[in-house]
Chains A and B, each alone.
Chain A
Amino acid sequence: MTYLAKPKLHHPGLDKNTLGYTRRDYEGAISTLCAGCGHDSISAAIIQACFELELPPHRIAKLSGIGCSSKTPTYFLGSSHGFNSVHGRMPSVLTGANLANRDLIYLGVSGDGDSASIGFGQFAHSLRRGVNMVYIVENNGVYGLTKGQFSATADKGSKSKKGAINADAPIDLVAMALQLGASFVARGFSGDKTQLVPLIKAALLHPGAAFLDVLSPCVAFNNHPGSTKSYDYVREHNEAVNYLDFITPRSEITAQYPPGSVEEVMQHDGSVVRLRKLHADYDPHDRIAAMSYLQQHQIAGEVVTGLLYVDPQPDELHAHLNTVDMPFNQLAESELCPGSAALQKFNAALR
């Protein structure tokens, strides 16, 4: 952490997007996390993704629970809506907010403690309901705020900083998300923004429940030999199945790839996710194959990253519930509260 505010001065040649904002305009307060924390890189990747997508900051809502990761929304998107909720309860607050105002872009930020332990149920239900959101777990396998106990995502056999060996089986949130029906599932690494930024961009524009597990080494408590969530371990065992190029409808397609190595996935808004396949046999549209691919590589000690599963035409909660198109705050009082006659009619229908 630092005591200095980041100077306002920026590079003279800093780009502006069509909204007139520079990347710096998407920043938040300066981080108070430990120096070198992977979470700060994820914050930087979110800033970059929102800048590149030219999202108006006031159209984004960032919600979080409790933990190091859940502190991070303070450090990005300083002009967006924010809600720092109760431990493990981000998904229900987000679901409620989404139901009330479906026009905002929802970014849920959580950690392995917040989502895999105390909020495991909330995590599961928000995904299975198909809430239109990006759910990011900043996953470091350790409870940093309480000085380094194993979290529920710590791999069996991995070693703590003090030398203890983890005997418990890990929860793989990606496997869970696949099973629970998330329509966009990806895993990234805080130390590889080339891969992470396009994943966040694609997730932000995905019109359904997008889950993103980002390995984010804890430099203070989980970056030593024997850890399976350290910078070195993840770098050495990273099995990226693909890299994305995220192409907005306006941007030009310039890069050339050998035939067969690229797959383009058209999104419903006209944007294209271009997958540069690193493993020719990996099919990101086959949920079941993805699950078994993950399991096999996990057993081999490998960390599979990339866009693991995507359904280009997903359902989402509002469609399931057949809600009104307008956000509540745009409905008139007469529509929100149609009066006692309407209530009686409704009650009668339920008798």
Chain B
Amino acid sequence: MKATDIAAPDYFHRVVDCQWACPAHTPVPEYIRLIAQGRYGDAYLINWKSNVFPGILGRTCDRPCEPACRRGRVEEGNGEKPEPVAICRLKRVAADYKDDIRARLPRPAAARNGKRVALIGAGPSSLTVARDLAPLGYEVVLFDGDARAGGMIRTQIPRFRLPEAVIDEEVGYVLDLGVDFRAGQRIDSLTQLLRENYDAVFVGTGAPRGRDLDIPGRREAAANIHIGIDWLSSVSFGHIDRIGRRVIVLGGGNTAMDCCRSSRRLGGEDVKVVVRSGFDEMKASPWEKEDAMHEGIPILNFMVPKAFTHEHGKLTGVLFEKVAAQYDDRGRRQLLPTGEPDVHLPCDDVLVAIGQENAFPWIERDLGIEFDKWGMPVVDKVTLRSTHPRVFFGGDAAFGPKNIIWAVAHGHEAAVSIDKLCHGEDLHQRPAPGVSLTSQKMGIHEWSYDNAVSGDVRYRVPMKENRIALKDIKVEVELGFDPKLAFAEAQRCLNCDVQTVFTPKLCIECDACVDICPMDCINFTDNGDEPALRQRLRAPADDPEQALYVSDALKITGHVMVKDEDVCLHCGLCAERCPTGAWDMQKFYLEMTHAGPGCRNKRREANPLPA
């Protein structure tokens, strides 16, 4: 193999699995260390800069970082249940325990730059664009049909998971940057808006339409059949405060989990979730399923709804066909009836949470914005620009339902595009992330990070008792980690951003690092092609997604150093045992470049704005 180019920003970035997996590339280990040090405000600001909504995401994020977390892999074969670091809930700790950070946030721009940007829909992606552009002097006009900003964060996530105060605080930080929020102003025609001569328009309207289930009885029993996300937003606004005693929730995603748990708090005593597929294939995050079951909600699987039953115009239940998963020759799964008798589950209300759709009835089709055959706008994945030069999309509106953290990532990229557009630059010349690599050595056995590896298993977040939690939909169920638990959980983080950096010319091949490495990551061997090399290391490196770090040939033996990054604990023992300093522990810090002078082409920096 060729020697690894560790100067390429992606190489060490990939080693920080959590940060690589995060759509916004938040520097996770850095803020976890700050939490361990009790520097909650600093930890919050790192998050705020990267993901805009630390308190909200610390409660609701889909946490793509956690399945990627190395901790889960290194605990395999070492304990009963390998689990990642509770990254998401640590984020919440930063938000819960920070002091007043308002003075450390950017201020509204002192002077306008003369550019006007319209943002449609005040959800997480638009708010991110506003956060990035308003301090730069853009006149940011934010439209939303609702009276308050937040979008799905406010309307679809139940209060027992996310208190209103947290939304108000973090949405407020954005609006306070001098954003012109036009509350209650729904945009009905993009043509009209474009006539107002905005320099750019950003569409962040989400996926606002809940999918319906058109089976017999739907119309007759309509009064007690509700579309999940609409019902959730009515609950959120206080328009609905009761539901029947027996509730069936159809669907297996996170919306279904919010529906069933909300029902339990609004009078639903016998609440069931029924899904077509198997329990394991459900779209809901495992922890959300756990939380629902913890509240006494059974999840029934492999049952396809056939009809709503009704009597005298009133819903009486749902009839289900039992199915089983069968795989055809091509490995595709089909749900085929088992032939067992249909099951009738009686109920008073049904919540349909079987998916969400985009809807753009307000975008005229003659504007030059192309739509594909599924009715989705054609959007450039990198620049987030549509086929109209001044119209951008982000969040669920761009590529269909995803989650908040993706919406934030889109918002940042769209803001970069808009900033470049307004400076007459090529949108495809994207800014590189800012990276640094700093030695952590303080003394012979002293590092500026805590390199002892905790043996603790994942800590559970304390919860309110069901007895209290189920009484009031506004009572937050999770209590969050207290500082002591947060410290213990933070210590489980392996500091994957503190990289093992190898300097071949210093190596004397004494094998000290090989002998000390607890995970058998380090090898000195003859070079070879990657598949062969992967098989003849001290421990086979079976995951091709995890890189091999290969050095140049060493001077005397001609061997190369090969390190399997997969299960490295970043404990630094290799560097501590190295007599020559050929190994060093260096902190890799990567920050995405957001809109602003840093994202623009260097050559143009000193130029005045184009007219």
Which residues of A approach B to under 8 Å, CB–CB?
1-4, 6-14, 24, 34-38, 40-41, 43-44, 190-191, 193, 217, 219-220, 223, 231-232, 235-236
- Docked-complex contact B510 and A36, CB < 8 angstroms: yes
B74 contacts A by Cβ under 8 Å: yes
Which of B445, B453, B508 is the most central at the interface, judged by chain A CB atoms within 10 Å of its CB? B508
With known contacts A9-B453, A12-B73, A38–B573 Cβ distance under 8 A: no
Q: Report Cα–Cα, A193/B510, bound state, in Å.
A: 11
State whether A9 touches B515 (Cβ < 8 A). Answer: no
Query: Given A3-B445, A4-B451, A12-B76: A191 and B510 within 8 A (CB)?
Result: yes
Please give the distance in Å from B575's CB to the nearest CB on chain A.
9
CA separation between A109 and B451, bound complex, in Å?
A: 32
> In the complex, what residue of chain B is closest to A30 when comparing beta carbons?
B516
**Please, how many angstroms separate the alpha-carbon atoms of A235 and B540 in the complex?**
28
Measured CB to CB, the closest approach of chain B to A222, in angstroms, equals 12
Q: List 22 A-B contacts (CB under 8 A).
A: A2-B445, A2-B577, A4-B573, A7-B453, A8-B518, A9-B74, A9-B78, A11-B77, A12-B73, A12-B77, A14-B77, A35-B579, A36-B510, A36-B577, A37-B510, A37-B579, A40-B516, A41-B515, A43-B515, A44-B511, A223-B508, A235-B556
Contact of B77 among A10, A38, A43, A219 (CB under 8 A): A10
**How distant is A26 from chain B, measured CB to nearest CB, in Å?**
13
Tell me whether B580 is interfacial, beta carbon within 8 Å. Answer: yes
Partner of B511, one of A11, A41, A220: A41
CB-defined contacts of A8 to chain B, threshold 8 Å: 78, 455, 518
- Once bound together, how far apart are the Cα atoms of A345 and B578, in whole Å? 65
B509 at the interface (CB under 8 A from A): yes
Closest CB of chain B to A330's CB: distance in Å? Answer: 37
The listed residue (B510, B514, B518, B521) touching A6 by CB distance below 8 A is: B518
**Docked complex Cα distance between A34 and B519 (Å):** 21
Q: Is the CB of A11 within 8 A of B579?
A: no
Are the C-beta atoms of A6 and B573 separated by less than 8 Å? yes
| CB pair A9 B577 closer than 8 Å | no
Q: Is there an interface contact between B569 and A9, defined as CB atoms closer than 8 Å? A: yes
Tell whether, in the assembled complex, residue A7 and residue B518 are in contact, meaning their CB atoms are under 8 Å apart: yes
User: A232 — which chain B residues lie within 8 A by C-beta?
Assistant: 508, 556
Q: Which of B481-527 contact A (CB under 8 A)?
A: 508-512, 514-516, 518-521
CA distance A342 to B74 in the complex (A): 64
Kindly list chain B residues whose C-beta atoms are within 8 Å of the C-beta of A24: 518
Residues of A within 8 A of B376 (CB): none
CB-CB under 8 A for A36 and B512, given A7-B453, A14-B77: yes
B78 touches A13 (CB 8 A): no
Residues of chain A with a CB closer than 8 A to B144's CB = none
B448 CB–A CB distance under 8 Å: no
B542: chain A residues within 8 A (beta carbon) = 13
Of B511, B557, B569, B579, which one neighbours A7 at CB under 8 angstroms?
B569
Residue ranges of B at the interface with A (Cβ–Cβ < 8 Å): 73-78, 445, 451-453, 455, 508-512, 514-516, 518-521, 539-540, 542, 556-557, 567, 569, 571, 573, 576-580
Determine if B509 and A231 form an interchain contact, defined as CB atoms under 8 angstroms apart.
yes
Please, which residues of chain B bring their CB within 8 A of the CB of A6? 516, 518, 573
- Top 3 closest pairs, chain A to chain B, by CB: A36-B579, A12-B77, A12-B76
Q: How far is the CB of A304 from chain B (nearest CB, A)?
A: 19
In the complex, besides A7-B453, A191-B509, A235-B556, 16 extra interface pairs with C-beta distance below 8 angstroms are A2-B516, A4-B445, A4-B576, A7-B518, A8-B78, A8-B455, A9-B74, A9-B78, A9-B569, A10-B518, A11-B521, A13-B542, A35-B577, A36-B579, A41-B512, A232-B556
CA distance A217 to B76 in the complex (A): 37
A239 to chain B, nearest CB (A): 16
Residues on B with C-beta less than 8 A from A43 are: 515
Question: Chain A residues near B453 (CB, 8 Å)?
Answer: 7, 9
Contacts of B573 in A (CB 8 A): 2, 4, 6
Instruction: Find out whether the CB atom of B508 lies under 8 angstroms from the CB atom of A40.
Output: no
A35 and B519 contacting across the interface, CB-CB below 8 Å: no
Q: Which A residues touch B518, using CB under 8 A? A: 6-10, 24
- CA separation between A4 and B577, bound complex, in Å? 11
Q: Which of B445, B510, B519 sits near A231, CB closer than 8 Å?
A: B510
Whether the pair A9, B75 counts as a contact (CB closer than 8 A) is yes
Instruction: Across the interface, name the chain A residue whose C-beta is closest to B541.
Output: A13
With A and B bound together, what is the CA distance between A13 and B579 in angstroms? 29
- Residues on A with C-beta less than 8 A from B521 are 11
When A35-B576, A35-B579, A235-B557 are in contact, do A13 and B512 touch as well, CB less than 8 Å? no
Known contacts A34-B579, A36-B578; A11 and B520 CB within 8 A of each other = yes
Complex alpha-carbon distance, A275 and B514, angstroms? 26
Q: Are B512 and A14 in contact, CB atoms less than 8 angstroms apart? A: no
Q: Closest residue of chain B to A75, judged by CB?
A: B515
Contacts of A37 in B (CB 8 A): 510, 512, 579
Q: Which residues of A contact B508 (CB under 8 A)?
A: 36, 219, 223, 231-232
